[in-house]
Chain A
Amino acid sequence: MPIKVIKKGLADSFQDNGRYGFQHIGICTNGFMDYLSAQLGNALVNNPINYPIVELCFPASSFSFTSDHTICITGANFSPVINEKSIELNKPIQVFKNDVLQFLKPIKGSFAYLAIQGKINAPNWLASQSFNATTLQKDNVFEVLPINASEIYTHKISPNFMTTIHSTIFTPAPIRFIPGPAWNDLTEQSLSQLLTQPFHTTLQTNRMGYLLNGPLLDLTKPNQYLSSAVTRGTLQLLPNGSIMVLMADHQTIGGYANLGQIILVDLPRIAQLKNGSSLHFSLTNVNTAHQLYQQIQKGFIH
């Protein structure tokens, strides 16, 4: 029995871990903005961790259920209620026919995830259910299909691991990055500003990228580079000297100065920053990034 969207949210969509293999023809990957919260949500309802999930921004959609489901809300805290009664985050919850799920106010974070046990039956294109558009409209209905017994995620998420995920995402800490091709073209002063001064997220934050407010940075040469592929987490220096952090719906190729790329393990943290939040950057290296990423992924059983 389907789940119905009874109120449209700002920019809600189905996302999975992205569409790869087509960036060479300009098709960007899309996918979870905060993959850790999405993976946690899926795991807690016994779904494979990279399954499609409902990604919500505030103001978020409201849903009504026409049959029983196990659901779990992870990521941002938008004060979720079922039939106007508060529910806990990061905990599987049983919902019943005619129950209504709403999100009342944004308390923490930018992206909440609604995991539903089973497989969301949403449009699939090139082996992914991720899209760069707001896919949930008012009165949309979607089915959640049972999954094969062999696919059911049975590993228990330990309280320790839950705490690790939570602090990785929500405990303020410098955003770590690896220097990119244009790193050495920064002036000495700009380089030092990037590593010491605070930056702030602006109103221009969306699934494509986060424009930052902060010291305007200078290069020792014109900001004209031959276009080359960029990745999620790329720090692009715009012509006016501000930084744009590329996120899940980024273009595949860019021609602005590429100052560096944020490491995967810190992407959920920056993704969850609300408009106007402050952040610092710090340098790291590939080996550290690989160790951190593997450590946190090993908390899930793939």
Chain B
Amino acid sequence: MEVELSFNHSLNYLGDHAVVLSFDVEMNDSSLNYVNKIATALNIFKNKYTWIKDIIPAYQTITIVYDIYDYYLTEKVEPVLLFKKIIPPLIAEASANFTLNTITEVISVPVCYDIEFGIDLKELARTKNISIEALIQLHCNTIYTVYYLGFMPGFAYMGKVPEKIQTARHAKPRMKVYAGSIGIAGLQTGIYPTDSPGGWQIIGRTPLKIFDPHPSKLALFKTGDRIQFYSINIEEFNIELAKQTTPIN
């Protein structure tokens, strides 16, 4: 099905060194896909305008960070006016080519849901009044979309977690959550890329390296990716872990 989509947008300053492009969209996969597509299109600005320092997509917004000093070396009008001129043609072009079924492959992510790794599994299953097996199945049967990356390098916020197993964060975060841990927080699920403090309810661990500091690798996922988890046992976990080469810094 090819449907031309376009959404109303607005452009405003976010402080003195960023502008934020906001889209009037519902929270769903196709609008997220749309925002992400526009953000990708905007990336061509990075080469053209050296004063653009970052382009950061989120649910409904794309934030563009610029260098004030460098900006005025080459431009005369204030930034928001320039963006109001250069952004709409790009949006129009991206919208014209946008189709609802551009969603591509699903990335499979192995997870060991052993209670040694899934330290909150037992308690979560108990409070949700389902078996651990059923909880794992619910977590695995869903295809998640990466909403955005943040919190720490490579941390992908994904959703939407089935209502039955949505859960609040721990009131008091743990001092240390191990790299690869899969957590749930509200309707979101995510993977801790490195050992860090964290408040999400931990249900398993992936042997995959979610973030690799090597400049050619970096984050395993990007905004808009589609992800599905599958369950592996601890032997498979160890085999896969051994395949992952250099340790995470």
Contacts and interface: CB of A to CB of B under 8 A. Distances in A.
Interface of A: 20-27, 29, 125-126, 177-178, 180-181, 226-229, 231, 233-234, 251-254, 258, 260-264, 286-287, 289-290, 293-294, 297, 302
10 contacts: A178-B16, A181-B14, A181-B20, A229-B65, A253-B148, A254-B150, A258-B14, A261-B14, A289-B15, A302-B69
B204 interface: no
Contact of B72 (A125, A262, A290): A290
Given A227-B59, A293-B69, 13 more contacts: A20-B65, A24-B56, A125-B213, A226-B61, A229-B18, A251-B150, A251-B151, A252-B151, A258-B14, A286-B80, A289-B15, A290-B68, A294-B68
Interface residues of B, number: 43
Nearest 10 interchain pairs by C-beta: A261-B15, A253-B150, A229-B63, A289-B16, A20-B53, A229-B56, A25-B219, A26-B149, A23-B54, A228-B61
A196 B110 CA distance: 54
Contacts of B222: 25
Contact of A286 (B16, B149, B153, B157): B16
A178 B218 contact: no
Contact of A228 (B55, B60, B157, B213): B60
B155 A294 contact: no
Interface in B207-228: 213, 215, 218-219, 222-223
A254 B80 CA distance: 23
Contacts of B219: 25-26
B44 interface: no
Interface in B145-184: 147-155, 157
B239 interface: no
Contacts of B149: 24-26, 252-253
Interface string B101-121: 000000000000000000000
B13 interface: yes
A293 B20 contact: no
A231 B15 contact: yes
Contacts of A297: 68-69
B27 interface: yes
The residue among A25, A27, A294, A297 with the most chain B CB atoms within 10 A of its own CB is: A25
Interface in B42-82: 46, 53-61, 63, 65, 68-69, 72, 78, 80
B218 A25 contact: yes
A180 B147 CA distance: 22
Contacts of A177: 15
The residue among A125, A229, A302 with the most chain B CB atoms within 10 A of its own CB is: A229
B17 interface: yes
A48 to B, nearest CB: 14
Contact of B56 (A253, A258, A263, A287): A253
A180 B149 CA distance: 22
Given A290-B68, A302-B69, A262 B15 contact: yes
B125 to A, nearest CB: 27
A254 B16 CA distance: 18
Given A25-B149, A228-B60, A233 B53 contact: no
Interface in B17-35: 17-18, 20, 27
B76 to A, nearest CB: 12
A36 to B, nearest CB: 13
A26 B18 contact: no
B151 A253 contact: yes
A294 B69 contact: yes
The residue among B14, B147, B151, B218 with the most chain A CB atoms within 10 A of its own CB is: B14
A26 B154 contact: yes
B153 A234 contact: no
B210 to A, nearest CB: 10
Contact of B15 (A26, A226, A263): A263
A228 B13 contact: no
B150 A261 contact: no
Nearest to B151: A251
The residue among A22, A29, A234, A287 with the most chain B CB atoms within 10 A of its own CB is: A22
Contact of B65 (A23, A27, A126, A289): A23
Nearest to B73: A302
The residue among B18, B54, B222 with the most chain A CB atoms within 10 A of its own CB is: B54
A253 B56 CA distance: 9
A24 B12 CA distance: 19
Contacts of B215: 125-126
B20 to A, nearest CB: 7
A254 B63 CA distance: 12
A217 to B, nearest CB: 19
A294 B69 CA distance: 6
B10 to A, nearest CB: 11
Given A23-B65, A24-B149, A251-B150, A229 B16 contact: no
Contacts of A22: 54, 153, 218
